[in-house]
Amino acid sequence: MSAITVCVPRGALFDGSVERLRAEVDSLRAFQRINEGRSNLAAEQARRALDKLPRDCMSQRGLAIAVLAAAHQTNGQLEQAYGAVYEALATDPPPGGSYHGRLLFTLCYVHWGAADLPAQKRAAGRYLALGHELGLVESSAVACSYEVTESQG
């Protein structure tokens, strides 16, 4: 029996909630693994999380996509890093909220790591506009730092 099913009282879970909880844990573990420098394991756990997380679990999906892109980039798979972000931007719900902020942050990060500063500035402009539109102060601040990077290069 998994630790998740042991820790949650019997009857407290609805159908699918254990799987959702496991998927959320996978996304958090993926984040932990990328920070430990274990990019292959991070990518595996992020993919597993994305396969299991429901579409409405936007915060954790955004985190898993960010980790997956970072893991690909760390492994020298730049096209896959871009692909993870672009696929999510194209297939998930229309832009809005912190989920799309995470995706645009990730896109800025991948551009920065690839030293594609003009593309980074374009992505940062989109990120900044979203931050202003939705009142996401932290997103606006981070987007500004990515916009400034090109002029300092």
**What's the pLDDT score for residue 153?**
47
- Taking 70 as the threshold, does the pLDDT of residue 4 lie above it? no
Gap between the Cα atoms of 115 and 111, Å rounded = 6
What per-residue confidence (pLDDT) applies to 1?
Answer: 39
Region 14-33: mean pLDDT is 87
- Average pLDDT of the chain to the nearest whole number: 85
| Predicted confidence (pLDDT) at residue 9 exceeds the cutoff of 60 | no
pLDDT at 100: 87
Condensed to tens digits (0 to 9), the pLDDT of residues 30-58 reads: 999 999 999 999 999 999 999 999 888 88
Helix axes 58-74, 17-35, angle to 10 degrees: 30
**Amino acid 50: pLDDT:** 95
The position carrying tokens 């990518």 is 43
- Tokens 């798979």 correspond to 77
Distance CA 9, CA 79 (A): 44
Give the H or E element holding residue 137: helix 137-152
Q: Supply the pLDDT for residue 139.
A: 81
Lookup: tokens for 4: 């998740």
Q: Tokens for 79? A: 């096209």
* Whole-structure pTM value: 0.82
Token pair belonging to 48: 């597993």
Q: What is the pLDDT of residues 64-93, one digit of tens each?
A: 999 999 999 999 999 999 999 999 988 866
